[in-house]
Amino acid sequence: MTELRAAIPADWRAALAPRVPASLWASLGAFLDDEYARGVVYPPREQLFTALTLTSFAAVRVLWLGQDPYHEEGQAYGLAFSVPNEISAPPSLRNIFKEYADDLGLSLPTTHRLEPWARQGVLLLNTVLSVRAGQAGSHQGRGWEQISDAVIDALVNRPEPVVFVLLGRPAQRKKQRIDLSRHVVIEAAHPSPLSAYRGFFGSKIFSRVNSALAGLSHAAIDWRLP
């Protein structure tokens, strides 16, 4: 077993095992060994799989899929869109919070951490799980996309239905993998400043997720943050 694969929680490792060949783990692991040795990569290697650690395979009710991690110092720690509280909220997160306030009628959060959502079964996952410092998209096409495909496939084939939230075109390309007769897909523009005004603002993403969960006989997510 490669070091990279061993870092994934056991439940997720078992779910992904039939879907990710050992050769892919090996090639991706070798690429990451080289990248971390050569320069700064985010998130820190021990935090690559924070999303899978916080939300177990059996607990997933919602998959919120982004693109790749934040690429500035101190921002990314393996939970899509979330940053530590001591770090200023990046524009995408600020836009998420704006829609959160508008949709739910809540005050803007003071926290920048989204663990309360993750612990309720919201898997906050990026399509690509690592990035070179200051170089958005720099780890695309190296194997992460197949890993995120495998996560989706494992959830699609699980007995319990899932609400898939696909933000932006890279995430929305995953829609073809989802059995729409059993699961629900909610699409919106990515919350980045480049696209938020083209369909993220006004999407009512939070209330739509809870409506979809109700239709699947799941409990609602309590989206409230400190």
Question: Which residues are tagged catalytic?
Answer: 68
Rounded Cα gap, residues 150 and 14, in angstroms: 11
CB 149 within 8 A of CB 177: yes
Rounded Cα gap, residues 100 and 205, in angstroms: 8
Q: Which amino acid is at 166?
A: L
Rounded Cα gap, residues 159 and 71, in angstroms: 36
For 110, the token pair is 């003071």
Rounded Cα gap, residues 37 and 164, in angstroms: 35
Rounded Cα gap, residues 180 and 152, in angstroms: 13
For 147, the token pair is 């890993």
Q: Is 65 helix (H, G, I), strand (E, B) or coil?
A: strand
